[in-house]
């Protein structure tokens, strides 16, 4: 594996200001998990082959489920029957929005490109609806 530069999706993890300000609750008041930490396997696999990215999507989906994270629609209601891909796309969408709010547009674009790649992988198994969180 080649080292990641600051311009790579993996390099996003090294940017302390994003990690410092945005948290995802685990459900217990004392334990907090950074969204970027949950997404780390997918961000690290962005430059890998499709098989490795697909494996990373599964790992992140399992982590989201273990944390009790829900994929919600625009009204705030849980999305019934959300697939692993939809859950990961929703978390990446949220992360991309955080980057945009922080003025990190190039990095947000890289996250969007990663989301497109995950959608394309899911399309091989059938259509994956675009999912996200508001």
Question: Does pLDDT of 6 surpass 70?
Answer: no
Helix (H) / strand (E) element for 100: namely helix 84-101
Q: What is the pTM of this model?
A: 0.69
51-95 pLDDT, tens per residue? 999 999 999 999 998 888 877 778 888 878 888 899 999 999 999
Strand partners, 72: 78
% of the chain at pLDDT higher than 90 = 48
CA-based R_g, the chain, Å: 14
Asked whether the predicted pLDDT for residue 131 surpasses 60, the reply is: no
- At residue 79, the pLDDT reads 79
What pLDDT shows up at residue 15? 44
């Amino acid at each position: 594996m080649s080292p990641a530069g600051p311009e790579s999706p993996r390099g996003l993890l090294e940017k302390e200001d994003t990690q410092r300000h945005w948290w995802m609750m685990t459900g217990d008041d004392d334990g907090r998990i950074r969204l970027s930490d949950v997404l780390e396997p997918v961000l690290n696999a962005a430059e890998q082959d499709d098989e490795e990215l697909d494996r990373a999507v599964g790992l992140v989906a399992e982590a989201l489920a273990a944390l009790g994270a829900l994929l919600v629609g625009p009204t705030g209601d849980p999305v019934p029957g959300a697939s692993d891909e939809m859950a990961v796309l929703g978390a990446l969408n949220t992360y991309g929005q955080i980057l945009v709010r922080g003025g990190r547009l190039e990095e947000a674009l890289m996250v969007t490109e990663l989301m497109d790649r995950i959608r394309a992988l899911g399309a091989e198994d059938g259509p994956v609806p675009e999912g996200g969180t508001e």
